[in-house]
Amino acid sequence: MQHWLMKSEPDVWSIDQQKKAGSKGAPWDGVRNYQAAKNLKNMKKGDLCFFYHSNIGKEIVGIVEVIKEFYLDKTDQSDRFVAVTVKFKNKLLKPVTLEEIKKDKQLSHLALIKQSRLSVMPVDYKSWKIINNMSKV
């Protein structure tokens, strides 16, 4: 199993909307960056992803699970980009802010910091554990 981080603007698609989608999940679509699209293609069923609220909040607020591997994104007229389907797993007890992540030297290598515009990115297991621990109240 791999771990990922997926960014969404909460006024476009929030963790609460993801939760309301229920067990059938919702497509993670609209990704138009080739590196982010490649990351979507590398996701496997069962992979876990941090759900990050970008622009408003700038914090990891929950975890979603990939329940359907990549397929053509229905919102893309060019048929070049893909989507995956994810379902809500849980909200974090305490959101983990970008500021907190930047302060932890063990996380300085993360794409969230190095490639701040990337909307879908891998998260190594050690960093996944560190961020999960940061979310415990």
Chain segment 5-19, per-residue pLDDT in tens: 999 999 999 999 999
Contact predicate 79/32, CB 8 Å: no
For the chain, how many structural domains are there in total?
Answer: 1
DSSP helix/strand/coil, 86: strand
Report the residue count for the chain.
Answer: 137
pTM: 0.96
Residue 41 Cα distances to 38, 69, 71, 119, angstroms: 5, 7, 8, 14
* Low-confidence stretches of the chain (pLDDT beneath 50): none
How far from each other are the two terminal CA atoms of the chain, in whole angstroms? 26
Residue type, 104: D
Segments forming the whole domain that contains residue 17:
3-134
Average pLDDT value for the chain? 97
Domain holding 52: CATH number? 3.10.590.10
